[in-house]
Chain A
Amino acid sequence: MITLKNILLKYAQRVILDIPELSLIEGRRYCLIGENGSGKTTLLRITAGTLKPDTGTIQGLPTEQVGYMPQAPYAFSFSVKKNVEIALDDDPNCEALALAALSKVGMISFAQSRGNKLSGGEAQRMALARLIAKPRKLLLLDEPTSSTDIRGMDLIESTLLDYNQACGCTLIFSTHSPAQALRLAEEVVFLDQGRIIERGPATQVLIDPQSEIARKFLRHWQM
């Protein structure tokens, strides 16, 4: 169980994130949803350890085997294959693992291309390959399909489902697409102004939200 306790982050007196408690069961798939500026990215960054909250602790976080993909992952100017290999430390099979991961996200034909020549969507697929090239216990993804076309989105979603089933890793991702949340997540955490407004099974939160804020937000989609 991963538990976030009393997480508080303020910036210029404004609350960016305020989470008294959030428990996440290992191996499950969670989606963070909410409007722009609701705290999704901040929550992911704090969990990934790239941002320090003012107060609070995270318990049960695996010390290793955590992978985080930011919204605009950086693609180094060396080859796409090498871009994946750098996440594999010095594994003797790093080349084979990198190629297998690239194949899963439909990027094998780009293996020798330069990373900085990829489009935004291709870079996201490559960045996912970088994360899934080895088994991890926790994957944190910030809008992993925000730049992909529908084929890329389908590839990423199916890869994530397969990876979650194969190595039982916990998956936490943010999205602006309730449809994607329904396809990919078992549970949804709805955020508004840095606070958790609602949380529960994906179908329940997305189809029949209990809070007024979530209902208002999801009305745009349901319409």
Chain B
Amino acid sequence: METIRQIFDLLFGVNPELRQIIWVTLRMSFFSTLISSVIGIPLGVLIGSNQFKGKRLLNRILSTLMGLPPVVAGLIVFLFLSRSGPLGTLKLLYSVTAMVIAQVVLITPIMTGLTANLISIKAPLIRETAAGIALTPLKRMLFTIYEVRVQLISTILVGFGRAIAEVGAVQMVGGNVQFKTRVMTTAIMMQTNMGHFEFAIALGIVLLLIAFLINSLVNRIQDRQIT
């Protein structure tokens, strides 16, 4: 009973650390999703709507990268940003920026792969009709994107969901620094290890609530498209 009361106090009381963790998590997830979308969606459209030499190989590489283990992404970014790495002079390690970079490495292939898949299903259906009325390639591409707009929004939300729930990469490059780079997942892990289950559960509830909101949003958008 005492544990439940503590969880409620944490959730609805004024706890600066909890608020800071939620804020950093949302900020990191938002920017990594935004950057991944800006890179991944146009790339996916290009790959999905065009036939070119090496496309199969590229798709295979993309599929592999879609399943990239977070710790591997974290390791790559860590090596690049560490003091002796090529980008060491930027001194970005253990910052939110480093965490965003690691997330972008992880999420961009997912965005690209899912978008390419969507477009490659829709594009052939549109191609003949578009050629039949002499639509320009640019218009054809824009119309194709328009036709998959709802699924693209879902793809972006999938990316956000992945970003917010990720732990391995952000732990490696963020370092879980209190009031700086601590996010919900790394905090849950740390608090559990320390035996502070109330704090971990409170964070877990917030994380679940956000996941629920994202899923509700995805379902609502999809329902609107169906009706």
Give A contacts to B, CB under 8 Å.
45, 48-50, 64, 66-70, 72-74, 76-78, 86-87, 127, 130-131, 140
Contacts and interface: CB of A to CB of B under 8 A. Distances in A.
B134 interface: yes
A196 to B, nearest CB: 23
B127 A50 contact: yes
Contacts of B130: 74
Contact of A86 (B127, B128, B135, B147): B135
A45 B132 CA distance: 9
Contact of B129 (A49, A66, A73): A73
A50 B131 contact: yes
Interface of B: 125-135, 139, 143, 146-147
Given A77-B147, A78-B146, A127 B129 contact: yes
Contact of B132 (A64, A70, A78): A70
B153 to A, nearest CB: 14
A76 B147 contact: yes
Nearest to A140: B132
19 contacts: A45-B128, A48-B131, A50-B132, A66-B134, A67-B132, A67-B133, A68-B128, A68-B132, A69-B132, A70-B132, A72-B125, A73-B132, A74-B128, A77-B146, A86-B139, A86-B143, A87-B133, A131-B132, A131-B133
A172 to B, nearest CB: 13
A70 B128 CA distance: 7
B131 A74 contact: no
A86 B133 contact: yes
B131 A130 contact: no
A76 B146 CA distance: 9
A140 to B, nearest CB: 8
B131 A68 contact: yes
A131 B129 CA distance: 10
Nearest to A123: B129
